[in-house]
Amino acid sequence: MDQQAYRLPDLFHHSYEECIVIAHRGASAYYPENTLPAFKGALEMEAAMIELDVMLTSDGVPVVFHDAKLSIHSNGKGLLSYHTLEELKAFDAGAWFSPQYAGTTIPTLQEVLELVAGKIALNIEIKTEAVSAEISGGVEEKCLQLVHDLNMQHHVLFSSFDYRALRHLKKLDSEIPVALLYNRGQSNGRPPAQLMNDYQVDAFNCSYHEYMAKWGPELHQLNIPHFVYTVDETDQMQQLLDADVSGIFTNRPDRLKALIDQRRNGKKT
């Protein structure tokens, strides 16, 4: 697939010639999602990229957590955005998954960047709850600053379901790779190619069902880089590999990597 027209993150020890293994919230089938153990697990499983979610604390610190409410994946209560970083760090974000991970805390984006810098690429999804109408001082600018501070700008792909964030990111840094996470309500019937042009983004992310039912042919015909979420079953992985997708988000990066390795070795024999 010719991807020269688009800006994509550089990968460590991998190539876009093969399907990219993207660890969804880390290796989250085996570790509590969006935590340092999950990201370390993804590194050990040799994923090519880690996907994570970013929210903002009440004192304006980007932290890695998926839900607006704390109660699903921590022992905290209420909205994450109502708490300071100090308050969030007192919550347990691992015991819900297994007693083995009791005491695991909600990581800051800075902590994750420091862990993975020079080792793996990141897909940083900015959650809608963190986005505002303001560009200056907003979540996008804060995340970009951390990425540049740790010299990760060539190894990061930003994404969001909130199309305001896409515009903000490109206004702040026109060279940063950005993916549009397909949002039917905000798309108003526009197909992938028009959305890519309207928001000047570099990749199109969609669900397995959206890809299989609707978007696959157009994405391939127009050579649009595309990453499909979230696929854990072997038969669905095989379907997407047969379709030559650019990358797959999975909670089981070891399973997807094994399939890709098997197919590569089969071609060589």
Mean residue pLDDT of the chain comes to 96
pLDDT of res. 173:
97
pLDDT of res. 264:
87
Please choose, from the candidates 102, 142, 110, 126, the residue with its C-alpha nearest in 3D space to the C-alpha of residue 53.
126
The set of long-range contacts for 67-72, using a CB threshold of 8 Å and a minimum separation of 24, is 68/127, 68/129, 72/96
- Single pTM value for the model: 0.96
| Residue in the structure block whose two tokens are 């979540």 | 139
Q: Quick one: what percent of the chain has pLDDT higher than 70?
A: 97
Q: How far is CA 143 from the centre of its chain?
A: 14
- pLDDT tens figures, 162-207: 999 999 999 999 999 999 999 999 999 999 999 999 999 999 999 9
Question: What is the mean pLDDT of the segment spanning 242-255?
Answer: 98
pLDDT of res. 137:
94
Say how far apart CA 186 and CA 188 lie, in whole Å: 6
Residue 266 has pLDDT above 90, yes or no: no
Helix (H) or strand (E) holding 26: none
The set of long-range contacts for 38-42, using a CB threshold of 8 Å and a minimum separation of 24, is 39/112, 39/115, 39/116, 40/115, 42/120, 42/253
pLDDT of res. 267:
67
pLDDT of res. 5:
74
Extract the tokens encoding 193: 């190619």
Domain ranges of the chain: 20-268
Residue 24 has pLDDT above 60, yes or no: yes
Extract the tokens encoding 28: 């989250």
- pLDDT tens figures, 31-42: 999 999 999 999
Total Cβ atoms within 10 A of residue 248: 26
Residue 99 has pLDDT above 90, yes or no: yes
Q: Please state which CATH number belongs to domain 20-268.
A: 3.20.20.190
Residue 3 has pLDDT above 50, yes or no: no
Extract the tokens encoding 25: 């919230």
Query: Could you list the active site residues?
Result: 24, 66
Identify whether the C-beta of residue 163 lies closer than 8 Å to the C-beta of residue 197: no
- pLDDT tens figures, 252-265: 999 999 999 999 88
**Alpha helices per DSSP H over 82-129:** 85-89, 109-116
Question: What is the mean pLDDT of the segment spanning 7-19?
Answer: 95
Residue 58: band (very low, low, confident or very high) from pLDDT cuts 50, 70, 90: very high
Say how far apart CA 267 and CA 107 lie, in whole Å: 41
